[in-house]
Structure 1
Amino acid sequence: MLKPPVRIGKLNAAALVGELRLLHEEAEDPDLHRMPEDDEIFGALTYLEAHANVLKKAHARRKAAITRVLLWQYIREQADIHQSKAIDAAREAKAEWTQLAPALAVNTASAAYNKALRLRAAALPHSPHTEPAIRRTPEAVLEAQRLAAARLGSERRAQQEAARRHRLLAPVASRLLQHRAGLDDGQDITYWLDEIEAVLPSCDTPTQLVSLSTYVKAVIREIAKAERGGLRSALRTEEASLAYAAAVELVTRT
């Protein structure tokens, strides 16, 4: 129970059942019409187990048996996840741990609680490439839940901050576009204004917002560079000058 579990994870179980069905077809299984559909995995596996003797070739028996082992393991993992969801539903419906104990095949309320925590480890989101596997102990599951809640809170705060910045940045970016005819039509300024125009209508995610902010800063930078050049003003109208000033103020403030 202290070792991190190795899991099969996602699997196209119906496709594997279909491969087993094909083996039985090739073996001319006379009862194959009684086999459940490929997506009825439990029923299909019990049929295939009961009719395994129709496979006469050793390689077919071996392949079928190994695939059944894989599918039973997959069902076991899925059962943990769905049983955990059922426990949560029962608790939401005010079921006591003493009522859940018989359904969980344990004798006490505390044992039911601990088993529910261990099962919940299977239902917690987990990326094997970025985090260690969740150890199936009550303490480890509670810690994993705490970390998952912290990540969710961080993501929610990031979304709220992105929405706040969008409310401030979008009008400023729109104003630059509205008065772009009054801005210097040099290649660099035009390029960054085109980028703003492309991203602004669909600026919904934090990544898109970062892009929009980058493009606005680039316009400011190129205008300032042109102004320092001194050959001619990059701001040819009062409206363009005000739009530029508003963008500078926002970027400086945030």
Structure 2
Amino acid sequence: MARPARKSAAPTKPLLKPPVRIGNLDTAAVIGELRQLHEDAEDENVGGMPADEELFGALLYLEASAGALKNEKAQRQAAIARVRMWQYLREQADLHQARAVEHARAVGVEWADLVPALAVNTPSAAYNKAKRLKAATLTDASRGDRPVRRTPEAVLEAERRAAARAAADRRAEEEAARRHALLAPVALRLLEHRSGLDDDGEVTYWLDQIAAVLPSCQTPTQLVSLRTYVEAAVREMRKRERTTGRPPASTPQAQFAYAAAAEVVTG
């Protein structure tokens, strides 16, 4: 019986499993440890080893001088460390080459000019390779921040989604700024006329909260808090009006401040 044909994954589908990566690494510290192994082995050439911060040159030296280590444990330790460091360099290379391509394109470099630099044969191949490199810098937030497949289609789709999220965030920020522009003067007016609003109870408590957050109301959390506090103050003043049958404010100015706040939070 013939085995059913294997379905190929859609080019925009993210990887099913996140790849294992080295991630952040103190490379200078690792090279320093390997240098110490060579010093302990009395490597007579270790003085010519590049500085700990010169990762590529140091790795080349360690590769060429691996025979200077006589202890088997040191040999194994150094070999594993070198494998790890080359893997780290591989991960970093994709990231930084992708950024270099972005910079080149930003200053007007054509895909045809990037053909030899990317070791491909055609401008279209340069474009596709650049998109595959870009995959190393992207994750798909809509799918739990899983890595993006190294295909041009997947990268374009991830970029489209990221742009849509950024646009939505900008709209939300603009809306929050618009609301704050309406809310801040109203909150200030409540404080200016709070002597006609204070009740030595819940209204007073919420007016105190407004007074605490209003002077430094800049972050999204503070903006949300200010609206929450104004809404709570208005709610308590309405409750007092219902239960007492009297206006929540004892002066015309305070009554105007209350009315303006009620209009803003219900608008």
**TM-score greater than 0.5 by the shorter chain:** yes
The match for 1:150 is 164
- Assess if the C-alpha contact under 8 Å between 1:158 and 1:206 holds in 2: no
Q: Could you list the runs of 5+ residues in structure 2 that have no partner in the other structure?
A: 1-8
Please give the root-mean-square deviation of Cα atoms over the aligned residues, in Å: 2.6
- The residue correspondences of 1:135-214 to structure 2 (distance < 5 A) are 135-214=149-228
Cα offset, 1:128, TM superposition: 11
The match for 1:96 is 110
Cα offset, 1:10, TM superposition: 2.7
Cα offset, 1:68, TM superposition: 1.9
Q: Could you list the runs of 5+ residues in structure 1 that have no partner in the other structure?
A: none
**Residues 223/77 of structure 1: CA separation in 2 closer, same or farther (3 Å cut):** same
What per-residue deviation string (whole Å, max 9, x for no partner) do you get for residues 192-222 of structure 1? 2222122222222322211111111111111
**Pairing partner for 1:122 from 136, 143, 165:** 136
Q: Matched residues, percent identical?
A: 60
Secondary structure in 1 aligned to 2:147?
coil
Tell me how far apart the structure 2 counterparts of residues 180 and 104 of structure 1 sit (CA, whole Å).
Answer: 68
What per-residue deviation string (whole Å, max 9, x for no partner) do you get for residues 144-188 of structure 1? 111111111111111111111111111111111112222123232
Tell me how far apart the structure 2 counterparts of residues 206 and 174 of structure 1 sit (CA, whole Å).
Answer: 19
- Assess if the C-alpha contact under 8 Å between 1:162 and 1:205 holds in 2: no
**Residues 23/196 of structure 1: CA separation in 2 closer, same or farther (3 Å cut):** farther
Secondary structure in 1 aligned to 2:29?
helix
Determine whether 1:58 maps to 2:72: yes
**Residues 56/180 of structure 1: CA separation in 2 closer, same or farther (3 Å cut):** farther
The match for 1:132 is 146
**Residues 245/99 of structure 1: CA separation in 2 closer, same or farther (3 Å cut):** same
**Pairing partner for 1:8 from 22, 26, 44:** 22
More deviation, 95-104/169-178: 95-104
The match for 1:73 is 87
- Assess if the C-alpha contact under 8 Å between 1:176 and 1:243 holds in 2: yes
- Matched residue count: 253
Cα offset, 1:233, TM superposition: 5.6
- Assess if the C-alpha contact under 8 Å between 1:135 and 1:141 holds in 2: yes
Tell me how far apart the structure 2 counterparts of residues 204 and 63 of structure 1 sit (CA, whole Å).
Answer: 52
Cα offset, 1:247, TM superposition: 0.4
- Assess if the C-alpha contact under 8 Å between 2:140 and 2:158 holds in 1: no
Determine whether 1:108 maps to 2:122: yes
